[in-house]
Amino acid sequence: MALLHELKAHEARTLLDQGKVSALELTQAALARIAQVDEQIKAYLTVTADAALAQAAEADERRRRGERGALLGVPIAIKDVICVPGAPTTCGSKILRNFVPPYAATVIEKLRAAGAVITGKTNTDEFAMGSSTENSAYGPTHNPWSLDRVPGGSSGGSAAAVAAQMVPLALGSDTGGSVRQPAAFCGVVGLKPSYGRVSRYGLVAFASSLDQIGTFGRDVRDAALLLQAIAGHDPRDSTSMPLPVPDYTQALVPDLQGIRVGVPQEYLGIGIQPQIETAVRAAIQTLADLGAEIIEVHLPHTDYALPTYYLIAPAECSANLARYDGIRYGLSQDAEEIWDVYRLTRGHGLGAEVKRRVMLGAYALSAGYYDQFYLKAQKVRTLIKQDFDLVFQGSAHTPPVDVVVGPTTPTTAFRIGEKVNDPLQMYLSDILTLSTNLAGICGISLPCGFADGLPIGLQIQGPAFGEEKILRVAYAYEQATTWHTCKPPLD
């Protein structure tokens, strides 16, 4: 039998149901693994060992009373932008260094009701603004596959924790690719649900029309089980859709008969690392071998996703971060004048990337520039969404497709420090994932190969609330390959 820390979530559930292992044993193994390897990886900002052991004991008691559940007693890590009562929620920022939320995010309430065991809070780019988890005020996280490489961002801590086998599951947030991109860099599965599928109540806001909580797992089934637990309508979140949540595990079948897969040529053009293009084309052939019909499609406004995103997201972040003023909570710098309190608090408490985006957003929203920049970006966002609508609904020239497939990232994980002084090159790391958030649709990344020992991610996008479709394609591909079984050489 595999070591306890090596178990996937669904494997752990089977052993728990059979009485062959206890939640306490699983949690102790996870905490031991964190102690063993996190000094190298630095995935965690806070390890809540005592609370985790108490939750594990509670899960064992619930099982003794006859309860069963997919996550009952299974360890999980939480990105440090999601509010967990009793644990610091710093958002990777000095300005919230000592902030402990007095309430739980809806996803945390759902996880606790399901009996999941929260092991701690993971590192993140400050306020989720970044593509590498180098922008954290508490230092960078390292990629388990190569310690001199970034794990991706902004959910790099969660992705690294799963890849390094510290936990089988983790939550992240995805504003422009921040679940899928680190999943690709770290060789794990990362799922970004449709906007409105998962409540954002208790997620510290970056860009409210783009943010979505997503799931990490070591395989597709694990990511689906976690989505099942957290999805659903929440009256406390006005953007949460009142739609029924399907049984996602029913979509996990190993063939693709009757499935149409769209391949946009815009995703396989100039700038893609050659080994990534080769791996993705091989993955597309595997999908065809499994019975899928491969159809070339076009998403003509893809090239505009980057400038559109970097007008809309900074504009929304400039509004959301106005609340960090040194008056209500968090860091506060004393001064005689109120404006000096604001200036000193934000000057000392916020990092360079956050300040850059706040300033960009404030400029785009300023009088005289709103129509020229922000309003125009919103119009282009509509065109990007219409591109996907046309592909998924079909036209007179092409039949509708069920999913769109391509690479998750243009390159494999880059070296720590390689792009920190070149914001544009850093922003380009997310160029293939941004459109998903702008359109409000769902996407998943899973391993499809390696280049020079570093993982490559395959991205599968589906229509809004089409998570079953992307899970079906991802699972069929995963079952036909072995990439998801590969482990980083930490030991």
Catalytic residue check, 79? yes
Secondary structure percentages of the chain, helix, strand, coil, to 5: 45, 15, 40
Instruction: Give me the catalytic one of 42, 79, 192, 419.
Output: 79
Q: In 10 A of CB 290, how many CB atoms?
A: 18
User: Measured over all CA atoms, what is the biggest interatomic distance in the chain, rounded to whole angstroms?
Assistant: 71
* Token pair in block for residue 483: 């990439």
CA-CA distances (angstroms) from residue 58 to 7, 24, 84, 294, 455?
21, 9, 18, 49, 37
Residues sharing a CB contact under 8 Å with residue 201, sequence separation 6 or more, in sequence order: 105, 106, 234, 236, 237, 240
Q: Which helix (H) or strand (E) holds 118?
A: strand 117-122
DSSP 3-state of 120: strand
Cβ contact 152:128 at 8 Å: no
Q: What are phi and psi of 458, to 5 degrees?
A: -100, 125
Instruction: Give me the catalytic one of 22, 93, 136, 178.
Output: 178
Q: Is the dihedral of CA 166, 168, 172, 177 positive or negative?
A: positive
CA-CA distances (angstroms) from residue 456 to 100, 119, 182, 447, 452?
37, 28, 11, 6, 10
Give the DSSP per-residue string, 195-236: TTTB--TTBPPSSTTT--EEEEESSHHHHHHHHHHHBS--TT
CA-CA distances (angstroms) from residue 176 to 180, 187, 212, 415?
9, 19, 9, 21
What does the alpha-carbon distance between residue 360 and residue 355 come to, in Å, rounded to a whole number?
A: 9
* Radius of gyration in angstroms for the set of CA atoms belonging to the chain, rounded to a whole number: 21
What does the alpha-carbon distance between residue 73 and residue 383 come to, in Å, rounded to a whole number?
A: 45
What does the alpha-carbon distance between residue 30 and residue 35 come to, in Å, rounded to a whole number?
A: 9
The amino acid sitting at 424 is L
**Alpha-carbon dihedral of residues 356, 88, 81, 171, nearest 10 degrees?**
150
Cβ contact 460:430 at 8 Å: no
Catalytic residue check, 154? yes
* Token pair in block for residue 96: 């919230």
Instruction: Give me the catalytic one of 93, 132, 146, 154.
Output: 154
Give the DSSP per-residue string, 393-435: H--SSS---SEEEEES-SSSPPBTTSSTT-HHHHHGGGTTTHH
The amino acid sitting at 228 is Q
Give the DSSP per-residue string, 344-388: HHHHHHS-HHHHHHHHHHHHHHSTTTIIIIIIHHHHHHHHHHHHH
**Catalytic annotation, residues:** 79, 154, 178
